[in-house]
């Protein structure tokens, strides 16, 4: 496999010890659906989120994990042992190089739960190898990666579902139905937020060190810039660095903005304007701890995303959530449930004073409450597994979550440039703005180039 096709053998496997030719899979543009009584999976990324997903997948009798890949040997081996212990049967093969599992004929699909900067490469390689994919959110590290993942899914006719599981929740589905049915009138203002107080310490400031011997740190960095090992940039904490992720904007904002796009039936905004900075937390991060993003959408609707790490006072009693404001009422939703609040007409004092009597109206909206059972993950996994057999598209198909993830990239690009941007959702570009368009992708380290599709 040449570097133009993805990762060079030297660059990725050099210190892993995989036998020559072990991951030289061929390109397969189609494949049979999994056997009706068994779905054979590989897990790529066996850390915190990978094991959370395992807890749901292992409940399914038809699921069998045959391989686990992680550049951290401890994660790979402990997770393989967990699967063997809880599921029985043969212990899954453990490895550092995920491409080795893609050579297996007894593999139907992969579950990818790596850091964000490692979502695109294994997704594309799996599609090229004729395997279906479940990949965690956010879909990609940048817009161009998301485009390549979408292209690979369609070119190689693969089922690619993404872990924005709220779309599978009855709670969010019913809320979106209410909005689309016009229960709260015409929606023209949406507020999303994440608030908590971790100031001033955050994750602290930690000096660089030598990487642990049980990880292939060069492979962990992969396409990201070469930097010294630092525990604050590694497991879980990677998300607070632009090299690997997009901060709170992409970590949580993608969940919130995804529901907003679903309710509005939109691919993306027309403009985005972000302000904020690292103002309250003195740690190693380079992503903001305070952020305000304003999006304008077609049809005269504004969406704001507010994030602060230096103050946890909740909005409407909730540390995170989505508030849809319409001309007839308001709908609040988070993972615990949703509620509709009827609006009421104001007494237009100033207008009446000048104009006399003015028209008024009654508002038919009725108060409603709905309590959620879960965040949607059980049904989300079921939906994806069903699609492996039917060859249909999951509720969070790669294209849908590409749009949602793009909104978070746009928010971060506006932040980095410090100005308002205009966006074209059809061409996925900033029209006439070369400076902003350069941030739709990034340079890749030699040997870790984005695979050609």
Q: Which of 138, 166, 194 is the last residue of a domain?
A: 166
Mean pLDDT of 258-278: 98
Mark out the alpha helices in 391-423 (DSSP H runs).
Answer: 398-417
Res 178 pLDDT > 60: yes
- The number of angstroms, rounded, from the C-alpha of 134 to the middle of its chain's C-alpha atoms is 12
pLDDT in tens, 412-452: 999 999 999 999 999 999 999 999 999 999 999 999 999 99
What pLDDT score was predicted for residue 12?
A: 34
Q: What is the CATH number of the domain that holds 267?
A: 3.30.360.10
What are the residues whose beta carbons fall under 8 Å from the beta carbon of 148, sequence distance 6 or more? Answer: 120, 124, 450, 451, 453
Does a structural domain hold residue 452? no
Confidence bin at 13 (pLDDT 50/70/90): very low
Q: What is the CATH number of the domain that holds 46?
A: 3.40.50.720
Share of the chain above pLDDT 90, in %: 87
The DSSP annotation for 83-125 comes to HHHHH-SSPPEEES-HHHHHT-TT--EEEE-S-GGGSHHHHHH
Q: What is the pTM of this model?
A: 0.91
Confidence bin at 358 (pLDDT 50/70/90): confident
Q: Are 148 and 398 in contact (CB under 8 A)?
A: no
- Other beta carbons within 10 Å of 66: 19
Coil, strand, or helix at residue 235?
A: coil
251 lies in the same domain as 155 = no
Does a structural domain hold residue 151? yes
What pLDDT score was predicted for residue 36?
A: 54
Coil, strand, or helix at residue 149?
A: helix
56 lies in the same domain as 197 = no
- Could you list the residue range(s) of the whole structural domain that residue 284 is in? 168-375+398-440
Q: Are 12 and 449 in contact (CB under 8 A)?
A: no
| Average pLDDT across the chain, whole number | 92
Confidence bin at 252 (pLDDT 50/70/90): very high
- The number of angstroms, rounded, from the C-alpha of 1 to the middle of its chain's C-alpha atoms is 28
CA distance 122 to 130: 12
Does a structural domain hold residue 138? yes
Q: Which of 146, 166, 186 is the last residue of a domain?
A: 166
Residue 284 DSSP symbol = S
Closest CA to 143 of 62, 246, 264: 246
CA distance 415 to 277: 8
What are the residues whose beta carbons fall under 8 Å from the beta carbon of 250, sequence distance 6 or more? Answer: 116, 138, 239, 405, 408, 409, 412
Q: Give the residue, 17 or 341, on which the prediction is more confident.
A: 341
pLDDT in tens, 370-407: 999 999 999 999 999 999 999 999 999 999 999 999 99
Does a structural domain hold residue 381? no
* Cα first-last separation, the chain: 14
107 lies in the same domain as 256 = no
What pLDDT score was predicted for residue 360?
A: 84
pLDDT in tens, 101-157: 999 999 999 999 999 999 999 999 999 999 999 999 999 999 999 999 999 999 999
Give me the residues paired with residue 162 across strands: 135
CA distance 53 to 43: 10
133 lies in the same domain as 243 = no
What pLDDT score was predicted for residue 357?
A: 80
Res 284 pLDDT > 60: yes
The full length of the chain comes to: 453
Instruction: Retrieve residue 17's tokens.
Output: 């010890």
The DSSP annotation for 328-340 comes to SEEEEEETTEEEE
Does a structural domain hold residue 445? no
Residue 138 DSSP symbol = S
221 lies in the same domain as 240 = yes
- Other beta carbons within 10 Å of 177: 11
Closest CA to 364 of 390, 327, 391, 392: 327
Mark out the alpha helices in 215-266 (DSSP H runs).
Answer: 217-221, 247-251, 253-264
What pLDDT score was predicted for residue 211?
A: 98
What pLDDT score was predicted for residue 349?
A: 75
Q: Which residue has the tokens 């904020």?
A: 276
Q: Which of 128, 145, 166 is the last residue of a domain?
A: 166
pLDDT in tens, 144-172: 999 999 999 999 999 999 999 999 999 99
Structural domain count of the chain: 2
151 lies in the same domain as 189 = no
């Amino acid at each position: 496999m040449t570097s133009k096709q993805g990762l060079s053998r030297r660059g990725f496997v050099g210190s892993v010890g995989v036998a020559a030719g072990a991951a030289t899979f061929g390109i397969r543009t189609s494949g049979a659906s999994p056997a009706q009584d068994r779905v054979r999976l590989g897990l790529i990324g066996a850390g915190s989120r990978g094991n959370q997903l395992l807890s749901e997948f292992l409940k399914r009798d038809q699921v069998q994990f045959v391989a686990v890949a992680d550049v951290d040997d401890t994660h790979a081996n402990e997770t393989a042992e967990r699967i063997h212990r809880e599921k029985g049967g043969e212990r899954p093969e453990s490895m550092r190089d995920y491409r080795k599992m893609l050579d297996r004929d007894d593999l139907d699909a992969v579950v990818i739960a790596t850091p964000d900067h490692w979502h695109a490469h294994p997704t594309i390689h799996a599609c090229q190898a004729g395997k279906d994919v479940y990949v965690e959110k956010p879909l990609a590290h940048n817009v161009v990666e998301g485009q390549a993942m979408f292209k690979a899914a369609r070119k190689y006719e693969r089922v690619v579902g993404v872990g924005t599981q709220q779309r599978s929740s009855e709670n969010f589905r019913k809320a979106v139905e209410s909005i689309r049915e016009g229960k709260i009138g015409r929606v023209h203002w949406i507020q999303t937020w994440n608030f908590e107080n971790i100031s001033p310490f955050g994750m602290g400031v930690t000096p660089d060190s030598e990487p642990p011997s049980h990880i292939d740190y060069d492979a962990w960095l992969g396409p990201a810039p070469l930097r010294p090992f630092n525990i604050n940039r590694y497991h879980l904490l990677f998300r607070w660095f632009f090299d690997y992720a997009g901060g709170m904007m992409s970590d949580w904002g993608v969940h919130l903005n995804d529901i907003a796009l679903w309710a509005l039936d939109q691919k993306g905004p027309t403009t985005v304007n972000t302000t904020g900075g690292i103002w309250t937390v003195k740690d190693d991060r380079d992503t903001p701890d305070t952020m305000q993003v304003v999006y304008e959408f077609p049809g005269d609707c504004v969406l704001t995303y507010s994030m602060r790490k230096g103050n946890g006072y909740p909005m409407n009693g909730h540390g995170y959530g989505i508030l849809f404001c319409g001309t007839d009422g308001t709908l609040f939703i988070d993972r615990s449930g949703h509620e509709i609040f009827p609006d009421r007409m104001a007494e237009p004092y100033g207008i009446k004073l000048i104009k006399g009597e003015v028209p008024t109206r009654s508002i038919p909206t009725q108060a409603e409450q709905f309590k959620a059972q879960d965040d949607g993950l059980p049904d989300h996994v079921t939906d994806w597994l069903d699609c492996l057999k039917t060859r249909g598209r999951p509720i969070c198909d790669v294209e849908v979550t590409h749009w949602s993830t793009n909104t978070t990239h746009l928010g971060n690009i506006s932040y980095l440039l410090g100005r308002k941007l205009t966006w074209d959702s059809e061409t996925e570009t900033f029209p006439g703005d070369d400076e902003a368009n350069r941030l739709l992708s990034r340079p890749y380290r030699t040997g870790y180039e984005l695979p050609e599709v």
